[in-house]
C-alpha cells in the first residue's frame, strides 16, 4: 500500500535509536523527508548513517538539540521552521518507589515527557492548520492506562500525553490536522535490551526464561507474552502519520500486545 507520504516533511524527536529511529526509518521508506533529532551531534550523525544504510534513497537530515528544554526546542525551531508531520517521541523512564521520588524527578519527567511535546505542538500545529493538513503523534504508553507501581511518575506523564493529544485534536477539529496518541507496550528498545542483558548476566538464566518470567510476574495480562520489536510499533505510527489515516484523530491507539485489559 502506498501511504502517500512522498514530499511530506516529518520531525521525530529523540529519533537516534529505538522506537523513534524505527518510526523515522519507516517514514523515510515511504518517501517522506525526515528530520532526526538527538542530544549529541555524534549520535545524530551515526543515526543518519544507519538510516541511509537501510534506506539508501532516504531524504534525511539531523539536528542535535535537547528537545526536553526550552532552549533546545528553540534551536530546533530555528533550523526547522515548519513540518507536515510531528512525532513527539522523546521520553525517559526509570524504576523508583513512589516514596523515594523527589520533587525534582517529578518536574524532570514532566518537562521531558510532557512539556517537550507541548512546545513542539504549540509551534507547529498552527502552521499545519494554515495549510489545512498535518499529522501530530504523541508516543505515549500502555503505562498511561496501567499505571506501573514501580514508576508512577512515568505513568503520570504518559496519562498526561493522552489528555493533551485528545484536547489538541478537539482544538484542531475540521482543520485537516489529526492528533493521536500511540500506546506501545513492552518493546525491545536499547534500554530494555540493556535490562535484559544485565538480567541474563546476573542470573545465568537464558534470555527466553528471563522474558517469560517478566511477563508472568510483571505484565501477566499480556496476550503476546513477548517484547515487541521497535518496527512493530513503528508500523502503526507510520500509518497514523499518513493521509490514509485521515479519519483517525483524537484516538489513543494501542500496540501493547494486549496488555490493557479492555476492548476499547
Question: CA dihedral defined by 181, 145, 112, 67, rounded to 10 degrees?
Answer: -20
pLDDT at position 194 is 86
Stretches in the chain below the pLDDT threshold 50:
none
pLDDT at position 263 is 87
pLDDT at position 223 is 95
In the block, residue with C-alpha cell 502552521: 127
pLDDT at position 200 is 86
pLDDT 10s digits, 54-105: 999 999 999 999 999 999 999 999 999 999 999 999 999 999 999 999 999 9
Active site residues: 154
pLDDT at position 192 is 86
pLDDT at position 228 is 95
CA distance 3 to 243: 7
Taking the whole predicted model, whether its pTM rises above 0.85 is answered as yes
The total of other beta-carbon atoms located within 10 Å of residue 199's CB is: 16
Question: CA dihedral defined by 73, 88, 90, 262, rounded to 10 degrees?
Answer: 150
CA distance 239 to 121: 19
pLDDT at position 243 is 98
pLDDT at position 190 is 82
Q: Which residues contact 80 (CB under 8 A, 6 or more apart)?
A: 11, 35, 63
Amino acid at each position: 500500500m502506498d501511504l502517500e507520504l512522498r514530499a511530506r516533511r516529518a520531525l521525530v524527536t529523540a529519533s537516534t535509536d529505538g522506537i523513534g529511529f524505527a518510526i523515522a526509518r519507516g517514514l523515510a521508506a515511504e518517501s517522506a523527508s525526515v528530520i532526526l533529532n538527538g542530544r549529541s551531534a555524534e549520535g545524530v550523525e551515526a543515526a543518519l548513517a544507519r538510516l541511509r544504510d537501510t534506506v539508501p534513497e532516504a531524504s534525511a537530515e539531523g539536528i542535535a538539540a535537547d528537545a526536553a528544554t526550552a532552549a533546545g526546542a528553540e534551536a530546533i525551531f530555528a533550523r526547522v521552521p515548519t513540518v507536515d508531520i510531528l512525532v513527539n517521541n522523546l521520553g525517559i523512564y526509570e524504576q523508583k518507589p513512589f516514596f523515594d521520588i523527589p520533587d525534582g524527578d517529578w518536574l524532570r519527567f514532566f518537562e521531558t515527557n510532557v512539556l517537550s511535546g507541548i512546545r513542539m505542538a504549540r509551534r507547529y500545529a498552527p502552521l499545519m492548520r494554515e495549510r489545512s493538513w498535518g499529522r501530530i503523534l504523541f508516543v505515549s504508553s500502555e503505562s498511561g492506562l496501567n499505571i506501573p507501581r514501580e514508576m508512577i511518575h512515568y505513568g503520570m506523564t504518559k496519562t498526561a500525553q493522552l489528555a493533551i493529544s485528545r484536547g489538541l485534536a478537539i482544538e484542531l477539529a475540521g482543520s485537516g490536522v489529526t492528533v493521536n496518541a500511540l500506546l506501545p507496550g513492552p518493546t525491545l528498545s536499547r534500554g530494555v535490551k540493556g535490562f535484559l542483558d544485565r538480567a541474563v548476566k546476573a542470573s545465568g538464566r537464558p534470555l527466553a526464561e528471563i522474558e517469560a518470567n517478566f511477563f508472568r510476574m510483571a505484565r501477566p495480562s499480556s496476550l503476546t507474552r513477548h517484547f515487541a520489536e521497535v518496527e512493530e510499533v513503528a508500523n502503526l505510527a507510520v500509518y497514523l502519520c499518513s493521509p490514509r489515516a485521515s479519519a483517525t484523530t483524537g484516538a489513543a491507539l494501542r500496540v501493547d500486545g494486549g496488555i490493557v485489559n479492555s476492548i476499547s
